[in-house]
Every structure is written in C-alpha cells, then in structure tokens.
Amino acid sequence: MNNRIKISSSLLGCDLSNIQAEVRRVEQAGTDWLHFDVMDGVFVPNLSFGLPVQQALNKVATVPIDTHLMIVDPIRYIEDFAKAGSDLITFHVESTKEPEKVIEKIHSCGVKAGISIKPVTPVGVISDLIPMVDMVLIMTVEPGFGGQGFIHETLKKVRMVREIADRLNKDIYVEVDGGINDKTAVECKNAGADVFVSGTYIFNAKDTAAAIKSIRGQ
C-alpha cells in the first residue's frame, strides 16, 4: 500500500503574493499533488480562497489539484470546482445532511471523491460511506488554520479507517492534514495513511525537495 505515497502541498502555507512561483517550487521539488483549501467563514472560522483562485491555479498547475472544501452545503459548488480543474474533491461529513448525494455529484462530474472528518468526529459517522469514496481525509488538526500542532489522538482513527477499507477489500487513499512534518508523517504512515498534506513544513523549508522527501520517508 505504501508504495503509492502521495505528498499534497497545501497552498495555504505558500507565499500568496507569488502563487505561480510557489507552485513551480513544489512541483520541481517533487510534490505529487497541490492541496487547495476552501474556507467559507461559516463551516470554519476563517476565509481562504475560492473558485477564481482555483481557476487561476488550474492554468499553471502541472500536477493534480486536491480540493479540500471546508464549506457548508458543499453540493452547491461541486460542479464549479470540477470545471475549475479539481482532480479530487473532499468535503466534510459534518457540512451536509446528504453526504451520499455529494459523493454521487462529485463522481458524476468525473472527479474522485473524498470525505473528511474533524478531530472530534468518530469514524463510525462515515463507515457506511467508505465503500463509496476514493479517499478518506482524517483531519489531524481542527480545520481552519495552517501552522497548528498535530493531534496525536487522531492516529487511532487513521488506523480504524485503514482497517475498515482492508476488510472491505477497498483500495482507498487515507489522507492526513494538519501539523504534518517528517516526524508526524512516520506515525501517520505506520497507522496506514498514504496521502500527506503539508503546508507550513514544506513551504517554510529552505530545501523544499528535502522536506518533501523527508515526509515520504526517504
């Protein structure tokens, strides 16, 4: 499973006055995906960026765009983000009453679907949805801000999701997001994660390629 590890660099941590150069920097340094955090100030107590910025990103990106929607009623915007170049769209189970419909909508747009849970949300809430999705995102910090400390208690949820997927013989990605660096990545990998989102650690690194390699465990 771990031979297909993906590093998804979170643009929330980049120099936003120079997004194109920052995208080139992480692409040349070996990032597999670009992680694009959308916040609406309602689902999370912060605003980030939305459609026009992803449309612009899509013009310059050469690797897949991994869109993380932290917004209420995500179904309203699925088609727009699909058109704006998302290869994968992840939404929060806490943000909708009809997660099955959101997953179907994402797939109907030809995009891979991910479902995410906050640190306080138990895996039981999404266990019936795991057969439908391509990825589960376990938030390893409270969503809303970059630069927070990794919450170790979330590791057991990574383990649980990987166990459920293995039992179902379902080959899904298990993504972790928040406080990921060379050390926390090892713990997540041992728990069964294979997609690592990282903003602060990657973009603050002097040697970006070395930072990405270190998350990969190289």
Q: Which residues are catalytic?
A: 37, 177
We find the least distance from the C-beta atom of residue 118 to Zn ion, in angstroms, to be 12
Instruction: Tell me how far apart the alpha carbons of residues 152 and 163 are, in angstroms, rounded to a whole number.
Output: 18
Report the first-to-last Cα separation within the chain, whole angstroms. 16
Q: How far is CA 176 from CA 82, 98, 153, 208, in A?
A: 22, 23, 13, 19
We find the least distance from the C-beta atom of residue 113 to ligand DX5, in angstroms, to be 17
Residue closer to ligand DX5, measured from CB, 19 or 104: 19
Residues 6+ apart with CB under 8 A from 106: 78, 82, 89, 91, 112, 113
Residue-by-residue DSSP string for 103-139: HHHHHHTT-EEEEEE-TTS-GGGTGGGGGG-SEEEEE
Please choose, out of 34-42, 54-62, 156-164, 201-209, the segment that lies near Zn ion by the rule CB under 5 A: 34-42
Residue closer to ligand DX5, measured from CB, 13 or 114: 13
We find the least distance from the C-beta atom of residue 207 to Zn ion, in angstroms, to be 23
We find the least distance from the C-beta atom of residue 5 to Zn ion, in angstroms, to be 17
We find the least distance from the C-beta atom of residue 107 to ligand DX5, in angstroms, to be 22
192 binds, among ligand DX5, Zn ion, none (CB under 5 to 8 A by kind): none
Place of tokens 């609406």: 40
Question: Which residues are near ligand DX5 by CB under 6 A?
Answer: 10, 12-13, 35, 37, 68, 141, 143-148, 177-180, 197-201
DSSP lists the bridge partners of residue 6 as 195
191 binds, among ligand DX5, Zn ion, none (CB under 5 to 8 A by kind): none
- 217 is written with which tokens? 């465990």
Residue closer to ligand DX5, measured from CB, 127 or 200: 200
Please choose, out of 36-44, 59-67, 77-85, 202-210, the segment that lies near Zn ion by the rule CB under 5 A: 36-44
By rule CB under 5 A, what string of x and - marks binding of each residue 168-197 to Zn ion? ---------x--------------------
Q: How far is CA 145 from CA 10, 81, 166, in A?
A: 11, 21, 32
Residue closer to ligand DX5, measured from CB, 25 or 35: 35
Residue 203 and residue 9 in contact, taking contact as beta carbons nearer than 8 Å? yes
Instruction: Tell me how far apart the alpha carbons of residues 80 and 86 are, in angstroms, rounded to a whole number.
Output: 9
Residues at the interface with Zn ion (CB under 5 A): 37, 68, 177
